A and B are shown apart, each in its own frame.
Chain A
Amino acid sequence: MTELFLQGLWDTIFMTLAATAVAYLVGLPIGVALVVTDDNSIHPMPLIHSIIGFVVNVVRSVPFLILLIAMIPLTRIVVGTAIGTNATIFVLIVSAAPFIARMVESSIKEIDSGVIEAAQSMGASNKTIIWKVMLSEAKPSLVVGMALSTITILGYSAMAGVIGGGGLGDIAIKYGLYHYKAGIMWLAVAILVIVVQILQEIGMRIAKKIDNRG
């Protein structure tokens, strides 16, 4: 039984972290693109901005559970299988990237536009402004957003039990729903709660530590 839970915990953490990492690789640039192509930003491109915004909204409107099932054919092509941990990770990435893009967008938009204007007045290129002003200044907020995204992805990963995705959610569904073993289900839930608490705490502490505004 301990082994079962250790395996479940490991699967959950692996799925969550791997999906978060890759989803950030995709979502972060999209979030930056949403900011810089906006009206009055450093590189306005109204058409591109609307298209990206529309796609992001569409993917975000589809509930994860439905995406999980609807994507089975695509998942099979990309991952080679539609069940298990790796299949889940793929769907998690697709689902979380647009969410992350919006989080990144709102973090960057918190920066005072005057600071960006100041950088422009110094002759900074857009690349410099993105790296050294937008992303640097938004760092604490980005870290808070990352904690939130990781927790959301963790929650989604638990749902992947439906497609036999592995992890604590899988255990909870298998034993709780199909075998009526409520005790095991609640234990899995309790471990999930603890993992969420730890992630949240780590995120907040790092954000506070790197923030020089206070």
Chain B
Amino acid sequence: MAEGKPIISLRNVTKDFETRSGTIRALDNISIDIVQGETYGIIGLSGAGKSTLVRCINLLETPTEGRVVFNGESLTGLSRKELNLRRREIAMIFQQFNLLMQRTALQNVCFPLEIAGVKKEEAARRGKELLKRVGLEDRVDSYPAQLSGGQKQRVGIARALASNPKVLLCDEATSALDPKTTRSILELLKDINKEFGITIVIITHEMSVIQYACDRVAIIEAGEIAEEGSVDEIFTRPKTKAAKRLVFPDQEKTDGIVGENLIRLVFDGGASYEPVIANMVIKSGAPVNIMYASIQNVEGVNKGQMILELSNIKKQSEIQLEYLNEQKIAYEEIGEVK
């Protein structure tokens, strides 16, 4: 359990969808607490229910059962008018950005202020300020069609910040972006979190996004929370099958590799550009044996996994593992490490 005051609490939230072939349970009895000021990740494969979950937070989806508490007040049961007022405090950004295509960047950012009834000049002033903050001061009068994906998301972020929200929900906000742009958007979100103290909720299917930006994470599978905890904890010691599947994908390819002192490393773009294996060897003064490696460089980011046989001298293997911990590279022991 994290320290601090929860800003969002879901209590036994269940969501059913009626379809022609019967009722589908998208969310099953979910209870989570998101603490004020933290960056909270919700990760799951597609169809796991994460998009439905985030939409339950601002009641774009009404839970079939359960309660959503925001800042100490229950949102479920509010009138439409009251709910709309609360929604100004819970901003959202989207995978497809969802900008108004017939409005300029500035007019998009001013839209929430228009809704809130802010005077035009005041809104324009604040809009410009926000666009400057996200690095788009020279694209104020550009239309979305004239902007790149990363720039569109920056407009989306500026628009989300316009109403001074307490919470920012990010629904697969970087999934339509290339790895480098993803990095810069996550960087911006982290800065915003620090600068404005806004609680950020990140929905994603990419472990690297969680690892890079989040403090805590919940793993959702088949509509249920499979595991929840600090990101470091889940990365180094995933307990449930669902967590392991996300931290160590493609496991079946290496099922045949067994033996002592084996560890599996995962490179998901979260690691730094350092030559990890070489540094590990230099630090420990002992060689490692590469049993399996499958690494791809996707637009400047390394992704893949590797199986290493560590030194069979305990002191050296300890230094090697310690180095991996320092670099925040996820690993699991396959064979017993002596």
Contact = CB atoms under 8 A, between A and B. Distances in A.
Interface string A110-127: 001011011111111100
B94 interface: yes
B100 A115 contact: yes
Contacts of B60: 117, 120-121
B100 A122 contact: no
Interface of B: 58, 60, 81, 83-88, 90-92, 94, 96, 98-104, 111-112, 114-116, 143, 145, 163, 169
A172 interface: no
B51 to A, nearest CB: 11
Nearest to B85: A123
A213 B114 contact: no
Interface stretch (A17-25, A130-138, A155-163): A130-138
Contact of A121 (B91, B100, B101): B91
A132 B91 contact: no
A137 B91 contact: no
> Max chain A CB contacts within 10 Å: which of B60, B98, B103, B104?
B98
Contacts of A137: 100-102
A2 interface: no
A41 interface: no
Contact of B98 (A118, A132, A136, A211): A118
A203 to B, nearest CB: 17
Contact of B143 (A114, A118, A123, A212): A212
B115 A128 contact: yes
A208 interface: no
A205 B272 CA distance: 53
A60 interface: no
A132 B58 CA distance: 21
A137 B60 CA distance: 21
A212 B101 contact: yes
Nearest to A139: B102
Contacts of B104: 212
A114 B94 contact: yes
Contacts, number: 75
B87 A122 contact: yes
Interface in A90-105: none
Given A121-B87, A123-B88, A213 B100 contact: no
Contacts of A115: 98-101
B84 to A, nearest CB: 4
Contacts of A114: 94, 96, 98
A214 B58 contact: no
28 contacts: A112-B96, A112-B98, A114-B94, A114-B98, A115-B100, A115-B101, A117-B94, A118-B99, A120-B60, A121-B58, A121-B92, A121-B169, A122-B87, A122-B88, A122-B91, A122-B163, A123-B83, A123-B86, A124-B84, A125-B81, A125-B115, A128-B115, A132-B114, A140-B102, A212-B103, A212-B143, A212-B145, A213-B145
Contacts of A136: 100, 102-103
A214 B91 contact: no
Contacts of B85: 123
A145 B1 CA distance: 57
Given A118-B98, A121-B87, A124-B115, 17 more contacts: A114-B96, A118-B92, A120-B87, A121-B91, A122-B112, A122-B163, A123-B84, A123-B85, A123-B86, A123-B115, A128-B114, A136-B102, A137-B100, A210-B102, A211-B102, A212-B102, A214-B145
